[in-house]
Amino acid sequence: MTGVLEQVEQFCLEHGLLHRGDRIVAACSGGPDSLALLVILWQLRRKYDLQIVAAHFEHGIRGAASKADADFVQAFCQQRGIPVQLAATDVPKEAAAQGLSLETAARELRYRFLEQVRQTAGFDAIAVAHHADDQAETVLMRILRGTGTQGLAAMRPRSGKGGTIIRPLLGVTKAAIRAFCAAQGLQPCEDATNEQAECTRNRLRLATLPALKQAYNPELARALCQLAEVAAAETEYIEAQVEALWQDTARVRQQPLALNQQGFSQLPLALQRGLVRRFWQAAAGSRQDLGFGQAEKLRLLLRVGQTSSQLELPHGFVARLAYGWLTCAQRPETAAAPAPADLQIPGCTQWGSYLCTAEWCAEIAPAPTPWELYLQPDDLAEPLVIRQRESGDAIQLPGGRKKLKKLLIDDKIPQQERDQLPILAAGHEVLWVAGHRRSTRCAVAFDRPLKRRVLYLRLERREEIYHDER
């Protein structure tokens, strides 16, 4: 068994993460993983002539504890003579202002800060501390939520725009990192990252993954990492082939963007699928939001479609086939709402293109987005249901009780959107117009400590979940 330092060095060389003279920003929260990463890079600096700067992002989510983490990282670096950069941001405030979830806002702001440090210093890369157990969790989470082989590839040793994000610890386990910290006498901060927002992932980490290991395979984490490794290489190869094809078959310099139908049906299935994804990415500006079923319909349209055939796609896009070319343009959406769904507590409930996650929790995060809700549902006579609006619906607001119909008119929700709103209700008592308004019935007070556990709900678009990038 070689030491963690040697394993990390070996991994970096294999994946081209480390070259002589590299200048690296080491992201450091102060927790065990990032502290180990910083120490390892610092120990390798002479051998590889590295320049290292540590960077700590104080997110302000946990008040005094956040400040203490920042002080710890600063003191740790000063003691060892490691250059360090610090930034403090009120993430909950930013999240609320931008309508993002706390975890999304924290991630985006943190990476923005790290990139800024890198660019200001003219450095090569940002090293982050994701390890093999993080990778295994990501792979399993994606499998459970639904993914193709690209999603399986999960986190790469090198990623980001221009390949500036590197993950030197991706090949070592959490246990090995903890052992390294102990052996080096490091005393990292507690790993109290944003428990609330990540609670689905925490459940996976603390309950599901250990149970699956015990029942099916003690080496499940390693198996998942290997699957990611295999999928990454295959995805990369296929994407390179698709990109070459795309250059030959797409009309990208003219409006509208178009894909040539000729020869498409003779391509191997994997390349047909790749080209369809590439087309959607170019047309819609993102490779997300196109489900497997829709992608297959689009592929079939290209393969056997007659001129003037067309297909409705997410976000109001319509694909049309005409004279051997496939085009794609946007138009306003109109769709029927799905049937009511009983809320699974705890668990996941699907309602049309939405997925609602419900969990009991003992702590609340300070600034829920409009797509998150805390509830104390004990005194309700009827079960909770997610559904479209119904006549007779009413909601309790701070200003008094109101008919839902009147509320939606007063709030200027366009007529054609009203039936698409996800409503959480008990009978005709509306508790939440998700993304929009909360009832004061069953509401949780944010300014007082919790006396008992409350229900935490989060609503997400399924297309977003199916393609979540970490």
> What is the torsional sign of CA 377, 378, 384, 389?
negative
Spell out the residues 6+ positions from residue 139 whose beta carbon is closer than 8 angstroms to its own.
Answer: 152, 154, 224, 225, 227, 228
Give the residue with the Cβ less far from a second copy, 231 or 408.
231
Nearest to 53 by CA among 15, 13, 85: 85
Q: Report how far apart, in Å, the C-alpha atoms of 144 and of each of 66, 141, 173, 374, 469 are.
A: 32, 5, 22, 25, 14
Q: Is 166 exposed, middle or buried (0-12, 13-18, 19+ CB in 10 A)?
A: buried
- 159 annotated ligand-binding residue: no
Q: Rounded to the nearest whole angstrom, what is the least distance from the CB of residue 305 to a second copy in the complex?
A: 15
Q: Rounded to the nearest whole angstrom, what is the least distance from the CB of residue 292 to a second copy in the complex?
A: 4
Give the residue with the Cβ less far from a second copy, 52 or 358.
358
Return d(Cα 136, Cα 33) in angstroms, integer: 16
Spell out the residues 6+ positions from residue 198 whose beta carbon is closer than 8 angstroms to its own.
Answer: 103
Give the residue with the Cβ less far from a second copy, 72 or 456.
456
Q: Rounded to the nearest whole angstrom, what is the least distance from the CB of residue 374 to a second copy in the complex?
A: 20
Q: Rounded to the nearest whole angstrom, what is the least distance from the CB of residue 196 to a second copy in the complex?
A: 18
Q: Rounded to the nearest whole angstrom, what is the least distance from the CB of residue 147 to a second copy in the complex?
A: 7
> How would you classify residue 352: left for phi > 0, otherwise alpha for psi between -120 and 50, otherwise beta?
left
Q: Rounded to the nearest whole angstrom, what is the least distance from the CB of residue 230 to a second copy in the complex?
A: 4
Q: Rounded to the nearest whole angstrom, what is the least distance from the CB of residue 384 to a second copy in the complex?
A: 16
Return d(Cα 46, Cα 211) in angstroms, integer: 43
**Chain positions contacting a second copy, by CB under 8 A:** 141, 143-149, 152, 200, 203-204, 208, 212, 214-220, 222-224, 226-227, 229-231, 233-234, 236-238, 240, 268-271, 273, 292, 344, 346-350, 355, 466
Q: Rounded to the nearest whole angstrom, what is the least distance from the CB of residue 355 to a second copy in the complex?
A: 7
- 171 annotated ligand-binding residue: no
**What is the DSSP-derived secondary structure letter of residue 315?**
G
Characterize the bridge pairing of strands 84-88 and 51-58.
Answer: parallel
Interhelix angle 32-48/64-80, nearest 10 degrees: 20
Give the residue with the Cβ less far from a second copy, 121 or 220.
220
Computed on alpha carbons and rounded to an integer, the radius of gyration of the chain in Å comes to: 25
**What is the DSSP-derived secondary structure letter of residue 425?**
E
Query: In the sheet that 310-312 helps form, which strands lie side by side, from edge to edge?
Result: 250-251, 258-260, 325-330, 317-322, 310-312
- 101 annotated ligand-binding residue: no
Pure H helices in 146-257: 149-152, 174-183, 199-203, 209-216, 220-249
Return d(Cα 103, Cα 109) in angstroms, integer: 10
- 435 annotated ligand-binding residue: no
Give the residue with the Cβ less far from a second copy, 146 or 435.
146
Give the residue with the Cβ less far from a second copy, 226 or 334.
226
Give the residue with the Cβ less far from a second copy, 119 or 214.
214
- 30 annotated ligand-binding residue: yes
- 32 annotated ligand-binding residue: yes
Give the residue with the Cβ less far from a second copy, 230 or 409.
230
Give the residue with the Cβ less far from a second copy, 238 or 397.
238
Q: Rounded to the nearest whole angstrom, what is the least distance from the CB of residue 437 to a second copy in the complex?
A: 26
Q: Which residues are annotated as a binding site?
A: 29-34
Annotated binding residues for ATP, written as ranges, equal 29-34
